[in-house]
């Protein structure tokens, strides 16, 4: 293991973008395998080469900047997906968005038609729970 530590010393290693690239590679390889589209293999190969290049790169600043750009795009998407998943799992509440300020409001399920008051902007609207 010592040779690996010596080899990786001063190199960028892995980050969120690299993990995303590996996942993208696996998706491309799987779709390529299932559909027989040869260009997906080459695209996946390019993605994995890029991932290895980033992993072994010694230019930390540039790799860090790339990762920040990726996180700027991915973070809003992932938090939206996560909240969607959480709302789907919650069987005792319903989630609504305030028509005025778009705040997410959680109300108990099974109460029929209720008047909901947004705690942020005090807008009142009626929804069926
Ligand atoms: Zn509101």
Q: Ligand 1 mean position to 124 CA, how many Å?
A: 8
User: pLDDT at position 112, please?
Assistant: 93
Q: Ligand 1 mean position to 84 CA, how many Å?
A: 19
Alpha-carbon gap, residue 4 to 14, rounded angstroms: 14
User: pLDDT at position 65, please?
Assistant: 97
For the stretch 5-58, pLDDT in tens is 888 899 999 999 999 999 999 999 999 999 989 899 899 999 999 999 999 999
Q: Ligand 1 mean position to 93 CA, how many Å?
A: 18
Q: Ligand 1 mean position to 110 CA, how many Å?
A: 22
5 CB contacts (<8 Å, ≥6 apart)? none
For the stretch 62-97, pLDDT in tens is 999 999 999 999 999 999 999 999 999 999 999 999
Q: Is the pLDDT of residue 2 over 80?
A: yes
* Residue positions counted in the chain: 129
Q: Ligand 1 mean position to 120 CA, how many Å?
A: 5
pTM exceeds 0.85:
no
The closest of 98, 123, 96, 128 to 111, measured between CA atoms, is 128
User: pLDDT at position 8, please?
Assistant: 87
Q: How confident is the model at residue 129 (pLDDT cuts 50, 70, 90)?
A: confident
Q: Ligand 1 mean position to 128 CA, how many Å?
A: 18
Distances (CA, A) of 125 to 23, 109, 116, 118: 42, 16, 5, 8
Give the angle subtended at the CA of 11 by the CAs of 7 and 15, to the nearest 5°: 125
The closest of 95, 124, 97, 129 to 111, measured between CA atoms, is 129
């Amino acid at each position: 293991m010592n040779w690996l530590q010596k080899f990786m010393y001063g190199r960028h290693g892995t980050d969120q973008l690299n993990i995303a690239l590996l996942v993208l590679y696996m998706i491309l390889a799987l779709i390529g395998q299932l559909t027989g589209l040869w260009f997906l293999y080459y695209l996946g190969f390019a993605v994995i080469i890029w991932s290895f290049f980033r992993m072994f790169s010694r230019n930390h600043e540039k790799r860090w900047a790339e990762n920040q750009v990726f996180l700027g795009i991915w973070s809003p998407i992932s938090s939206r997906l996560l909240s969607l998943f959480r709302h789907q799992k919650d069987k005792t509440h319903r989630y609504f968005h305030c028509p005025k300020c778009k705040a997410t409001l959680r109300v108990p399920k099974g109460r029929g038609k209720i008047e909901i008051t947004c705690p942020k902007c005090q807008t009142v609207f009626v929804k069926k729970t």
